[in-house]
Chains A and B, each alone.
Chain A
């Protein structure tokens, strides 16, 4: 049994962009995930952080083949998911659960909590008989901190936090090894976010889960993760132990991101030097050549447009990698510019 549970190699998810509206863009490709190599170790919590449109959710979905990858492979416990047949893939889903962002949208409004939570049991034939399934549903609800008597109720009778607990119970019903939380706390109130974060941490320890926690919230990510991966425009630009990435980021984008996260300490906020980035994130259908961050990077220099930076060891912590030429120019030179990549974007 290897230490790596989930592994992605050269993973790409490209979407065709249809030209819409008055001829501004022709047909092209939107490079949501664009060449990601990632290993997730058994029993760890990996935080995947990035801003909207960076492809973090698409990556989370692609790892479970909920979005079909256009290139590359995803290996789950030694099995290549990308070549698996439909039936085999469905069976595989028992071992990997997903918790979604919006607890108001992710539960079928016409099905009771029990019907929702027992769906994986029915699908995978895990408990035979109504009574046994009901007992298991009760266990699962207790596991996530809900009273089993609520099993017969409909989602609209619950608060956001309670719904999210139901979503977590559903994801855990098949006793998965791997859980992807896609912005699972983003639409909850602060105090409820904390409840769910604590719950996820407890479940992770209690059940020995491997967790991929996808979020835009760096504070929450650092709180829950063992390792943090930072994504920008479809690529992982920095990855490493949570303590290292959280306290001594090595890539200018991570530094800017970290400095922009407000902390609830007025004195610190006043004294802190905030790196305010220029402009917006470029469109994923027209990514800059070379280093994708170079158009907004305060430290961009000559090799940035011409060499695609590879992840290289940085800093002092082992396993801390960053894709940045400031640590030595390492990577593949840009020879030709493929579709959806611009050599010299405007501005």
Chain B
């Protein structure tokens, strides 16, 4: 996939300087602070970060899924030529199906427990295209077959609780894909699943993506999954992108101390044993800053083991290009640390 997906074609999604501020009892929380990226057709962009990094909020904001009462969203997010952030809520509802489908971590939150699988799929199909019930039902069955549900005709009449977690997630993917969206957003979609099921789901998404040319935003904390699925990686910390580039550049030559810390804290099955054991993990000490109280300088400064530049304490380093990268994708990192140094 990597080789074929050059960003030469018109991007499916173009996010520019996205900012999200939430009102909380403890004051304004700066959850997303200027995020810019593009997703090309057939491309998978992985957004990586730990809880509180703003990765989920950033996509909820794109689709207008944050309560307007507490959230202020600014910036631009152009999906197929239309800015999602200035769109009317009616138009946004229309876009959500055929424009962008979404898959969340817990399939039960996206499925209605009292409606059969078929009802939910058919409802989704008919909401966006004017077809008869019979046609919609046939398409629903086809979709379930496509996502690998055994006996799709009978599965239509079953209820969510009758399916296993993996099967439910397949149904959610089928619903998300029912209107052949240009963009699929998967928010920790395989986190709750077993690894063998995760492998099945990842296979499925890759296959569907190759068939339909869907752009995918894959939000996860699991760098292993990223290595397998992503073309491009965006590492988030404190609501900012601290590093981005191709998956090979970011995972094999991480430049930002946070990215390195994250990779170092991952037990690695491919790492050889020393005296029958693995050396201790290198950890990132401390906790991410609360979005209500971000540090004045670099967001990572309080936990940074390097702190090589005195400016770090008072100034946020900008995303700087480290190398032109492969396939025209620059490798960038928001750090003044010596770049290119190996872990």
Contacts of A216 in B (CB 8 A): 194-195
Is B62 interfacial (CB 8 A cutoff)?
no
| Cβ A264 vs Cβ B224 within 8 A | yes
* Among A242, A257, A265, A279, contact of B252 (Cβ-Cβ < 8 Å): A265
| Cβ B195 vs Cβ A264 within 8 A | no
Which of B70-78, B261-269, B317-325, B334-342 forms part of the interface with chain A? B261-269
| Cβ A266 vs Cβ B269 within 8 A | no
Chain A contact patch, size range:
35 or more
Which of A69-77, A185-193, A306-314 forms part of the interface with chain B? A185-193
- Distance, CA A226 to CA B276, complexed state (A): 8
Shortest distance in angstroms between A163's beta carbon and chain B's nearest beta carbon?
12
- Distance, CA A202 to CA B197, complexed state (A): 33
| Cβ A190 vs Cβ B248 within 8 A | no
Contacts A190-B50, A190-B262 given; indicate if A266 touches B270 (C-beta within 8 A): no
| Cβ B195 vs Cβ A280 within 8 A | no
| Cβ B199 vs Cβ A219 within 8 A | no
- Distance, CA A195 to CA B284, complexed state (A): 8
| Cβ B247 vs Cβ A194 within 8 A | no
| Cβ A191 vs Cβ B261 within 8 A | yes
Contacts of A194 in B (CB 8 A): 264-267, 281-284
The B-contacting residues of A in range 264-286, CB under 8 angstroms, are: 264-270, 274, 276-277, 279-281
Contacts of A269 in B (CB 8 A): 224, 227-228
- Distance, CA A270 to CA B263, complexed state (A): 18
A-B CB contacts (within 8 Å), total count: 139
Shortest distance in angstroms between B332's beta carbon and chain A's nearest beta carbon?
18
Is B223 interfacial (CB 8 A cutoff)?
yes
| Cβ B267 vs Cβ A223 within 8 A | yes
| Cβ B50 vs Cβ A266 within 8 A | no
Contacts A190-B221, A280-B164 given; indicate if A243 touches B276 (C-beta within 8 A): yes
Contacts of A262 in B (CB 8 A): 195, 198, 222, 224-225, 227-228
Contacts A191-B50, A262-B228, A264-B251 given; indicate if A222 touches B269 (C-beta within 8 A): yes
Contact with A along B204-242 (1 / 0, CB 8 A): 000000000000000001111111101000000000000
Is A332 interfacial (CB 8 A cutoff)?
no
- Distance, CA A216 to CA B193, complexed state (A): 10
- Distance, CA A161 to CA B288, complexed state (A): 12
| Cβ A266 vs Cβ B248 within 8 A | yes
- Distance, CA A277 to CA B197, complexed state (A): 8
- Distance, CA A89 to CA B51, complexed state (A): 40
Contacts of B328 in A (CB 8 A): none
Is A198 interfacial (CB 8 A cutoff)?
yes
| Cβ B196 vs Cβ A191 within 8 A | no
- Distance, CA A243 to CA B248, complexed state (A): 28
Q: Which of A189, A198, A218, A279 has the most CB of B within 10 A?
A: A189
| Cβ A280 vs Cβ B166 within 8 A | yes
Closest to B286 in A: A191
Contact with B along A245-273 (1 / 0, CB 8 A): 01000000000111111111111111000
Selected A-B contacts with CB under 8 Å, 9 pairs = A191-B284, A194-B266, A195-B285, A220-B267, A222-B267, A243-B273, A257-B195, A264-B251, A276-B196
- Residue ranges of B at the interface with A (Cβ–Cβ < 8 Å): 2, 50-51, 150, 164-167, 194-200, 203, 221-228, 230, 247-248, 251-252, 261-270, 273, 276-278, 280-285, 287
- Residue ranges of A at the interface with B (Cβ–Cβ < 8 Å): 51-52, 159, 161, 189-191, 193-195, 197-198, 201, 216-220, 222-224, 226, 241-243, 246, 256-270, 274, 276-277, 279-281, 347
